[in-house]
Structure 1
């Protein structure tokens, strides 16, 4: 069993990917039947490679589906939670730069009346 290249998978369409996935699943089933019939662990590496190839194909399918949904929500105000940036809870709740720069009317009056004094130092 040869490791499938993810770059080759990304070039394929959704229908082709499902065909490849079905083929790998059929191969896996055949290998498992051989393993049970022979009674030995001769095909262990082939089984592992096939399972990993199935995982690669499924990963590409999922990524393509998410990219399509992400394109649909591009420029919209609300995005599904699973498409949002994960970050950390604190970073997600932190104020934006615009929110940080805002001041209340009361604070603006204080700043105007009691401006910070600057002193020149005689050299």
Structure 2
């Protein structure tokens, strides 16, 4: 039987076989603790059930996380990605155009922008106390 709680930091460097072995040990320990509970064991054994259950959860979490990272590496350059590995977003966000598609322009529009750039207009404003001020407005757009 293991002595106390499992620390997650100790689990990450382990490989899958070691993790599965530790998981099996924890499950057998949990089974023994449950039989002792039925038989009327000591209170200290009953409180240990909680720690063993949490340790099992930690080991399973590390196993599943490692498995997901391996799957992400495998599917990185594939055409399709499994649904559970795709980003979790709202349906509307998933249906949106990608940044590349949003930025695309027709050849006609690119030619128009090249040949007719945005005009800058200069307006003279006379103030009461000072000399002439020059303000440039580049927000107005006209195409001739």
TM-score band, normalised by the shorter chain?
0.7 to 0.9
Give 1:54 deviation, angstroms.
0.6
The answer for unaligned runs of 5 or more in structure 1 is none
- Which has the larger Rg? 2
Distance 1:116 1:37 in 2: 86
The answer to whether the aligner puts 1:36 opposite 2:38 as a matched pair is yes
1:69 aligned partner = 71
Larger relative strand fraction:
2
Farther-moved stretch of structure 1 (92-101 vs 52-61): 92-101
Distance 2:17 2:110 in 1: 61
Give 1:90 deviation, angstroms.
2.6
Aligned alpha-carbon RMSD (Å): 2.5
Q: SS at the partner of 1:121?
A: strand
1:26 aligned partner = 28
The answer to whether the aligner puts 1:15 opposite 2:5 as a matched pair is no
Distance 2:37 2:29 in 1: 12
The answer for unaligned runs of 5 or more in structure 2 is 125-133, 135-144
| Aligned 1:1-123 pairs, distance under 5 A | 1-38=3-40, 42-104=44-106, 117-122=119-124, 123=134
Structure with the larger RCO, 1 or 2 (CA within 8 Å, 6+ apart): 1
Provide, for residues 58-96 of structure 1, a one-character-per-residue CA deviation record: whole Å limited to 9, x for no partner. 111111111111111112221111111113323222222
Aligned residue pairs total 123
Give 1:3 deviation, angstroms.
1.7
Contact 1:35 1:42 in 2 (8 A): no
Give me the TM-score of the superposition, normalised by structure 1: 0.81
